[in-house]
Structure 1
Amino acid sequence: MGHWLLESVGVHHVDLDKRVSVHRKADIVPYAPEWHFHVWILIHAFVPLAIHQAYIGYFHHNLSTTAAYALYGHSLKAIGVHQLHVLRRVGQRYGFFDGDKHERDGVPDVGVWKALESLLSAIAFRPMVATMFAYRADQGPSSIYWTWLPFTIAAYAIIFDFWYYWYHRLMRENVSLWRFHRTHHLSKHPNPLLAGYADTVQESFNIVVIPLLAFGSMKFLGFPISFYDWWISQQYVIFTELLGHSGLRIEKYDVRRVK
């Protein structure tokens, strides 16, 4: 039943009825310019912002907190599923790193409901935390500090990674904490659906604690980060999480030019 649900929305990492491209390690690795990733992320991040601003312009009042959660929660679902579809198509065509030795791990039968729970928790609770702690009905998307936005996105990514690195390192090096982290490392060749595959403690940190620590740190350092800045910054984080667990045989720079 769980696998059927994943297949019904087309989020398995490959189409099991089609051949996956396999390459030797010595073969040339294709690349995608990094600016392509920025364009993809920003276009998808700005769609719900545009819908939100159009609503304000037409009805002359802002969305309630509940309505904002509904809009951005559904947007997160749609963007995430669309990215999984894109990664699936690209993986099918260009293959995966180490594909000549081992295919990407699928979602295990014993863990399919755990993977679904992790996926649904991230979709439900990340936008909920953002709306609870950052959404203000007296501000619309037009209040974004556009000149600060590139710096805000970059700073958020660095600060988020700082907190994530240290909690991740502690869970690896502390014997008593490793039990909360070992589930995530059962897969040696993960796919995007396994990005959040972890025990409940690690799930809570990934979905709630680390984003809140990053947001609070930004506020403490004086960055003008609003709900909308946080939304865009989180799109970068989620995009990177899914792409980073995909194993796609694609570089963000042309390795043929590296001497």
Structure 2
Amino acid sequence: MSTTVTSTQSEIRPSAAYKLRATAKWVEKPFWKRNPFEHLAAIDLASKKCYEVQPKNPNAPPAHNVWWERLWLSLAIPPPLIFHALWYYFVPETNYYHTWHPGAAYAFYAISFLIYTIVMVKHIHYYMDYYGTFDEDKRPRDYVPDMLVTRLVLSVVVYMLARTGGGLLLGGYNRNESPSLGHTISWFVLIKIAGWLIALDFFFYCYHRACHMVPFLWKVHSLHHCTKHPTPIQSILAGDIQEVIEVFLVPLAASLVVPLTTHEFWIAQCILIYIEATGHSGIRAYWPHCILNEVLQPFGMELCIEDHDLHHRLGKSGMNYGKQTRIFDRIFGTISERVECVQK
């Protein structure tokens, strides 16, 4: 199937009517007047252009080269694993600090995850500015409201600490083993991670669709839908119950289906947050999944950024419930037709 992208004049359904913006005066504060939470939330501020209505772009969204993203990920994800392996190689086995206590490994990978996330967000911001964003001629990206700044930062902290700890626990961290391809990291690691992501997408799809159909669950999930035009870190914005389900239970279920080692889980969680963040960026380009695209494209089950962007614009009425694939949306008939990215 060709990756030529054409535009369409189709409109999203009326149920996606826009709401008034929530107050976001914190972004207008001078640097020295922002509180610590506002400084941390500012990491997710893209260029000013992304928050202003832009002239309608008459050109179809370009097809972004997925191989550039694969190259970026191959450079951004391995450094902590390489550092860990080099430590075990160069520090003598007789040295007390040769092996890493689980607490030390936890701290190291949590800090590494934070650094990776900041670099990733800046990478995404660059393309938000370069390509523009979907629907930008009607409404630009949304700022995080004043009342949710603290909530967002705390959600990020919980996400990073929980995912790092989950990787160590679910992967069965062994302090005597350093990262090693063919040993603690399978030669078929990308196939394993692809399977893990599909399993995760199944459990997420079931939970996510229920959230849009069951009133009680929608009340839990609606905080995440406070924006119809989100930015990367807003992908993590959620209430307490949703955090427990998405951060803990869904990955646990996927790991029971496709077990990963600690070091494989590190790679998987970096790819996972990358997909989550790009999916909430609204980058106006045909930007496919970095692992699953070629496998799913022939079946019309591939995912691109516009799919989840439309999900937020549609709000409670739903559609496009998957966040790694469109496998289950295709099977159960919950796909929303793309407005700007149409493959032919």
TM-score normalised to the size of structure 1?
A: 0.88
Equivalent position SS for 1:86: helix
User: Which of 166, 170, 176 is the aligned partner of 2:206?
Assistant: 166
- Gap runs ≥5 in structure 1: 220-224
More helix as a share of residues: 1
Two-structure CA RMSD over aligned residues (Å): 2.5
Range that drifts further, 60-69 or 7-16: 7-16
Does 1:201 find its partner at 2:238?
A: no
2-structure distance, mates of 1:122, 1:78: 14
Distance 1:111 1:190 in 2: 13
Q: Deviations over 1:90-122 (max 9, x none)?
A: 212321100010011110011111111111111
Q: Which residue of 2 aligns with 1:183?
A: 223
**1:258 positional shift:** 4.6
* Of 229, 239, 245, the match for 2:274: 239
Contact 2:64-2:287 at 8 Å conserved across structures: yes
Deviating more after overlay: 183-192 vs 130-139:
130-139
Q: Deviations over 1:55-110 (max 9, x none)?
A: 10012333111111111111110010111112222212321100010011110011
- Tell me the residue number matched to 2:131: 94
Of 67, 77, 86 in structure 2, the residue corresponding to residue 54 of structure 1 is 86
> Unaligned 5+ residue runs, structure 2?
1-24, 28-33, 289-339
Deviations along 1:165-201, one digit per CA (max 9) or x if unpaired, are 1111122211222211111112111111210111100
Deviation, structure 1 residue 31 = 3.0
1:35 maps to 67
Counterpart position of 1:216: 256
Q: 1:70 to 1:204 in 2, by over 3 A?
A: same
Q: Tell whether the 8 Å contact from 1:163 to 1:210 is kept in structure 2 after alignment.
A: yes
Give aligned-pair identity as a percent. Answer: 26
Correspondence 1:140 to 2:175: no
Match of 1:228 among 233, 250, 263: 263
Amino acid at match of 2:87: Y
Which range is displaced more, 166-175 or 6-15? Answer: 6-15
Aligned residues: 253
Judged with a 3 Å threshold, the aligned counterparts in structure 2 of structure 1 residues 46 and 22 are, in CA distance, closer, same or farther, namely same
| CA distance in 2 between partners of 1:49 and 1:126 (Å) | 16
1:153 and 2:193 matched: yes
Cα distance per residue 1:129-168 (max 9 Å; x no partner): 2223321223221123442212111101101111111111
Instruction: Give per-residue Cα distances to partners, 1:21-64, cap 9 Å, x unaligned.
Output: 93525323233211222222232211100000001001233311
Report the structure number with the largest CA radius of gyration.
Answer: 2
Q: Which has the higher contact order (CA 8 A, sep 6+)?
A: 1
* 1:14-33 pair list within 5 angstroms: 14-16=46-48, 22=54, 24-33=56-65
Moved over 6 A (4+): 17-21
- 2-side partners of 1:72 and 1:127: how far apart? 7
The change in CA–CA distance for 1:34 and 1:18 in structure 2 (over 3 A counts) is: closer
